């Protein structure tokens, strides 16, 4: 697999959104902190705008009020006629579209970095749409080079629905940063500091990109979402078991056919029956119980990523 | 400190309550499981009754609907005149009082075991009112003997208010079992199995007690709650920092004067300014942010616990 670089326009209108889910505390408190003092988000060529994406959910420390905001930024919702009965997150999606979009237009922000936490043991995980991979792959590679010893993975997805829906889909390019494990409603100092440092590094990368720096070609492993696996359930739809101890906390590690994935409440093991090795991600994420997701299956792919040449005279002369 | 054993009446009416907080998943799913199949809760002299304490909060996976149920079992709430506008948990407290009480009367259940999870790294922690210590100390000691290598601590509190308020305060004797760390809304198989085994051992202990077994005297360390410590806050009341990495996950370990307790968002450390070593508990528990509790301070006390003699002829003849 390879990705062609897009046109090299500088990213001048950049937003960092936290609190898209109101109980994912690193982004909530980073956004609040930057709204008071945005100095950390300034770079020579741009100043990133901090946004507290879901203030009502944040105020009550819940993921959302009426529906998941990060599934609501579709053109269908954004283009629908506003009514007084609209769900809170539908109203808020329209406000964000006003602020950072309009989605799909030339007026939209150049880049949104959306901050998340998960209860799963993902470590540092960037989530990117497959269509936006070239810039985002270079971004991930930059973070890997800056943080040797810290696993930093890129998880790629293609929206199943016809249209994109996430907060970072409003801008021309965007990415989500996931950091875990952290319980909902808890702010861990170690993850707060790590996310703050990662955001700084991402803004540094954007600055280097804006300065027309050459980013050479490289190879890396990425993870591509294949599908979801639900919990074992009773005929009533209730849980009949939970994630197996051998799978719990093992995000991004290989799961081979025949290995256990669930421990039923009656003590029996449920084994993985797929044909090939997969890489589970978001294993036992609290927010995904209601989405009927015990974990996502991904495949590991080795990709060769072409250079992002700078717009210097020498590089533009290269055939 | 020593505790005198109470009168040796068998505990025949025993309840195990889960889901007192609807997002603490081990108790929620154990209670649901036992409501389907209560066989595990049977012993020769009694059958413990499983209770899903807060079904409405459990259904939406939240700690509570209107107010914390585990602070609502006061005689004031239970004795107040019911009105249609009563908060959900006040209504539910009255129902539990009907089922397991009435609190403070001879009709009340003999023992309630109330199951909880915490996001803090408490391990196995029994929480007991100081007034009910003799039986509960023997119970904790029994679990320690049954599970060598598994830290099992007893945390003792005296209600600050004039009256007791917890679910397990409805019965003549009671105890809470806390198990952590587990994120809210997540069911970990390892903690689920451990809690299930601990409940079985607690019921075994009650059975031995009912069989008039002699429990010899012993010595142990317990932890007594001294007070709470709030997060550092801005003048607006918002967080100005969070638990320091050196304190995070170190529940029940000594905290000495001058050691760091908070990391401010501006990078500064806040040091513990007390006069003596304390033992923090419930460090960074998600549900306590709204209660303005970053952690509880406790003191470690070495106690000599007198024997619980059986009601055998030989022991009753002992002066």
Residue of chain A nearest B247, judged by CA positions: A189
**C-alpha B56 chain-centroid distance:** 21
pLDDT at A310: 78
CA distance B43 to chain A (A): 20
Q: Hey, are the CB atoms on B248 and A188 less than 8 Å from each other?
A: yes
B190 vs A184, A188, A245: nearest CB:
A245
pLDDT tens digits for range A229-250: 999 999 999 999 999 999 999 9
Which of B183, B191, B230, B247 to probe the A interface (max A CBs under 10 A)?
Answer: B183
Q: Which whole-number Å values give the CA distances from A141 to A118, A154, A225, B80, B271, in the listed order?
A: 22, 9, 19, 64, 38
The interface predicted TM-score (ipTM) is 0.93
Per-residue model confidence (pLDDT) at position A8: 75
Interface test with B, best of A26, A185, A262 (most B CBs within 10 A): A185
The answer to whether B248 contacts A190, with C-beta atoms less than 8 Å apart, is yes
What is the pLDDT, as a whole number, of residue B7? 55
State whether A239 and B290 contact (CB < 8 Å): no
**Residue-by-residue DSSP string for B65-125:** SSS-GGG---HHHHHSPP-TT--HHHHHHHHHHHHH--TTSTTS-SEEEEEEE-SS--EEE
Q: Across the interface, do A189 and B290 touch by the CB < 8 Å criterion?
A: no
pLDDT of residue B249: 98
**In the predicted structure, residue A160 carries a pLDDT above the cut 80:** no
pLDDT digits (tens, 9 = 90+) for B257-284: 999 999 999 999 999 999 999 999 999 9
* 3-class DSSP state of B158: coil
Distance from CA of A220 to the nearest CA of B (A): 32
Residue B174 pLDDT > 90? yes
Contact flag A242-B187 (C-beta cutoff 8 Å): yes
pLDDT at A312: 54
Secondary structure of chain A in the HEC alphabet?
Answer: CCCCCCCCCCCCCEEEEECCCCCCHHHHHHHHHHHHCHHHHEECCEECEEEECCHHHHHCCCCCCCCCHHHCCCHHHHHCCCCCCCCHHHHHHHHHHHHHCCCCCCCCCCEEEEEEECCCCCEEEEEEEHHHHHHHHHHHHHHHHHCCCCCEEEEEECCCCCCCCCHHHCCCEEEEEEEECCCCCCCCHHHHHHHHHHHHHHHHHHHHHHCCCCECCEEEEEEEEEEEECCCECCCCCECEEECCCCCCCCCCCECCCCEEEEECCCCEEECCCCCCEEEECCCCHHHCCCCCCEEEEEEEEEEECCECCCCHHHHHCC
**Beta-carbon contacts below 8 Å between A and B:** 86
Contact A238 B61 (CB under 8 A): no
Q: Which of B185, B243, B249, B267 to mutate to test the interface with A (most CBs of A within 10 A)?
A: B185
Which chain B residue has its CA at the smallest distance from A265's CA? B33
The per-residue pLDDT for range B54-96, each reduced to its tens digit, is: 999 999 999 999 999 999 999 999 999 999 999 999 999 999 9
Cβ distance A117 to A24 under 8 Å?
yes
pLDDT tens-digit series, residues A4-62: 444 578 999 999 999 999 999 999 999 999 999 999 999 999 999 999 999 999 999 99
Q: What is the mean pLDDT of chain B?
A: 93
Q: Is the pLDDT of residue A295 over 60?
A: yes
pTM for this prediction: 0.94
Residues of chain A positioned with their CB less than 8 A from the CB of B242: 29, 187-189, 192
- The predicted-structure confidence for A173-232, as pLDDT tens digits, reads as follows 999 999 999 999 999 999 999 999 999 999 999 999 999 999 999 999 999 999 999 999
Residue A33 confidence (pLDDT): 97
* Mutant choice from A18, A27, A34, A189 vs B, greatest count of B C-beta within 10 A: A189
If you measure CA to CA, which chain A residue comes closest to B269? A189
CA distance B37 to B34: 5
């Amino acid at each position: 697999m390879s990705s062609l670089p897009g046109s090299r326009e500088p990213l001048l209108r950049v937003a960092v959104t936290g609190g898209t889910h109101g109980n994912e505390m690193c982004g909530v408190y980073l956004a609040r902190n930057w709204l008071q003092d945005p100095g950390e988000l300034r770079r020579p060529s741009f100043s990133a705008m901090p946004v507290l994406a879901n203030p009502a959910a944040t105020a009550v420390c819940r993921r959302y009020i009426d529906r998941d905001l990060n599934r609501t930024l579709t053109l269908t919702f954004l283009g629908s006629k506003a009514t007084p009965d609209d769900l809170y997150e539908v109203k808020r999606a329209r406000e964000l579209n006003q602020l950072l979009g309009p989605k799909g237009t030339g007026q939209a922000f150049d880049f949104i970095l959306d901050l998340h936490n998960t209860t799963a043991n993902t470590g540092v995980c960037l989530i990117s749409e497959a269509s936006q991979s070239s810039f985002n792959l270079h971004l991930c590679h930059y973070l890997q080079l800056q943080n040797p010893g810290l696993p930093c993975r890129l998880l790629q997805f293609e929206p199943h629905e016809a249209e994109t829906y996430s907060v970072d889909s409003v801008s021309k390019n965007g990415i989500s940063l996931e950091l875990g494990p952290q319980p909902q409603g808890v702010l861990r100092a170690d993850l707060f500091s790590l996310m703050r440092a990662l955001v700084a590094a991402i803004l540094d990368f954007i600055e280097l990109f804006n300065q027309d720096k050459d980013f050479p070609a490289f190879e890396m492993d990425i993870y591509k979402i294949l599908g979801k696996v639900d919990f074992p359930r009773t005929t009533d739809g209730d849980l009949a078991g939970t994630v197996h101890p051998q799978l719990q906390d093992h995000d991004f590690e290989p799961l081979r056919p025949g290995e256990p994935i669930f421990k039923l409440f009656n003590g029996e093991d449920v084994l993985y029956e797929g044909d090939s090795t997969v890489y589970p991600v978001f294993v036992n994420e609290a927010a995904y119980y209601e989405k009927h997701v015990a974990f996502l299956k991904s495949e590991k792919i080795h990709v060769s990523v072409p250079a992002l040449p700078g717009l210097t005279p020498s590089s533009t002369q290269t055939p």
